[in-house]
Amino acid sequence: MRTSLVSFISQRVCKASASVALACGVGIGSAVGGAGLAAAQPAPSPSYDAAEGSARGSAASGSSSALGSSQGPADMLSSNTWGALDRNARGFYDSLPATVSGNPGDVIKRAPSQFAFGLPFVDWMMSKSERVAYVSTDNNGQRIPVTGTVLRSSQPWTGKGPRPLLTIAPGTQGSGDACAPGKLLSVGLEYEAIPVAGALARGWNVALTDLPGLGTSRQHTYMNRVEQGQATIDMARAAVNLNVKGITSASPVAFYGYSQGGGGSAAAVELAPTYGKGINVVAGYAGGTPANLAQTAAAIDRKPLAGVLGYAINGFIAAKPELKPLVDDLLNDKGKRLLEQTADECIPQSLARHAYVDTRTLTKSGKSLEQLAQQEPLKSVLADQEIGHRPPNVPVFVGHGKNDDSIPVQGARTMARQWCEAGTSVYYRETPLPPVAPLIDHVLPMLDNLAPAMNWLDAVFRGKPYPTTSCGNIPR
């Protein structure tokens, strides 16, 4: 069991960046709690980098080469390879309209899917999986389609009451439709398969959202607090609305996510008291949470994840089109080209093409995005994305790395403390690992918190005592 899990995450992480290769071999088998995964060794998976949508951003810019560089690995991605892997899913996603009507969580369409863990199309968990398109609400109150996957466990639930539903907001995948977790999950290329497998092994059902714009025609609104939180809540609603055995309105729901997914999960528990009526939310896990985007933008500038700043800017423009003239006025040609390219990339391509980009080279003034974000109206745009000002009414596990180089720990500390002081039961866990390498310092706390988060949520689901942290013990 441990060997297969290590192999899976090692393959995925090693492909993303040369520096991340240092993380290969990290053991994470404890996440499933020893609940019955076959101890098999998966064969290497097809290349994640062969992604259909990744080629479209560079095509839109009129150049397939990296910024100021000659052709490299990021520009050799083949849409044909992804098309072969994605043949069964293509029709499901391509037929969705840009806008829809109905109530949040209404099911638009559904189709069979499969959970592949390590090997394409091989489900060690023997779960029952469905692709789902459902109704959610965007930043402006408009109804939009969002896609996701609902997986039902074949393992018994030994706790009291209904079987739990773990609703997962995924970590950063990219901005292209090819990056949708629901597409990658069936071919063994989705890193969120780790918590999915852990949940299924414990007898929990799972709902994994693709988040707005991944798998649908609209731009992915990366790091948009409201849209990510509402799409995560509506994923749980959609699972209930499938009317399948073991998932009802009485099912205890917990939100789960790390990194971008931590933001989605944290936003979901914040919004649940007002937006989540009708589902039985009982807890949340928010790991590596980008609670303060201004701090995060400063941290990733000139670092491996610098390209995701393009995801965020494109997402803000999609949610607030009135920002486009301002952004056009601030960026130079190189900056505009980065936005065009990142509009449809997956994270491996962005790592290969944009790692260590200095945002001062993208602006007409030579100022960094961190500096520009301190000026209005961008300052207010980012302030509106802050998480921590709306206390959840359910207990939340907050996990973070003390030396996370991509998402500074200060944002999570502030969020957890604000929640706690407002009355939320918070369990705060900080991974004290020393700095290791760029991006590794963000990945390792994700692995370190897997088993503790699963065990903590299991205690909540079973009605057993679970640890909490006094507000005074949350670091400042």
The type of residue at 36 is G
Q: What is the CA radius of gyration of the chain?
A: 20
- The pLDDT of residue 118: 75
pLDDT at residue 335, as a whole number: 98
- CA–CA distances in Å: residue 101 to residues 63, 65, 141, 414: 38, 40, 12, 38
Half-sphere exposure in the Cβ direction for 97 (13 Å, CA): 8
pLDDT of residue 99: 82
Burial 74-110 (b: 16+ CB within 10 A, else e): bbebebeebeebbebbeebbeebeeebeeebbbbbeb
Map residue 43 onto helix, strand or coil. Answer: coil
Cis peptide before 170 (omega within 30 of 0): no
Give the separation between CA 40 and CA 5, rounded to whole angstroms: 9
Residue by residue, DSSP assigns 245-268 as TT--TTSEEEEEEETHHHHHHHHH
pLDDT for 85 equals 52
Q: Does residue 230 contact residue 189 with C-beta atoms inside 8 Å?
A: no
Q: Are the C-beta atoms of 184 and 85 separated by less than 8 Å?
A: no
Q: Is 107 helix (H, G, I), strand (E, B) or coil?
A: strand
Q: Which CATH number fits domain 2-293+383-473: 3.40.50.300, 3.60.15.10, 3.40.190.10, 3.40.50.1820?
A: 3.40.50.1820
Which DSSP letter does residue 274 get? H
Q: Which helix (H) or strand (E) segment is 312 a member of?
A: helix 308-319
Report the pLDDT value the prediction gives residue 98, as an integer from 0 to 100: 80
Q: Can you give the pLDDT at residue 444?
A: 97
pLDDT in tens, the chain (476 residues): 333 333 333 343 333 333 333 333 333 344 545 444 333 333 333 333 333 333 333 333 333 333 333 334 444 333 334 434 555 677 899 888 888 999 999 999 999 999 988 777 778 778 999 999 999 999 999 999 999 999 999 999 999 999 999 999 999 999 999 999 999 998 888 999 999 999 999 999 999 999 999 999 899 999 999 999 999 999 999 999 999 999 999 999 999 999 999 999 999 999 999 999 999 999 999 999 999 999 999 999 999 999 999 999 999 999 999 999 999 999 999 999 999 999 999 999 999 999 999 999 999 999 999 999 999 999 999 999 999 999 999 999 999 999 999 999 999 999 999 999 999 999 999 999 999 999 999 999 999 999 999 999 999 999 999 999 999 999 99
CA distance 107 to 238: 6
Give pTM, 2 decimals: 0.86
Amino acid 361: pLDDT: 98
Q: What is the signed CA dihedral for 193, 195, 200, 203, rounded to 10 degrees?
A: 180
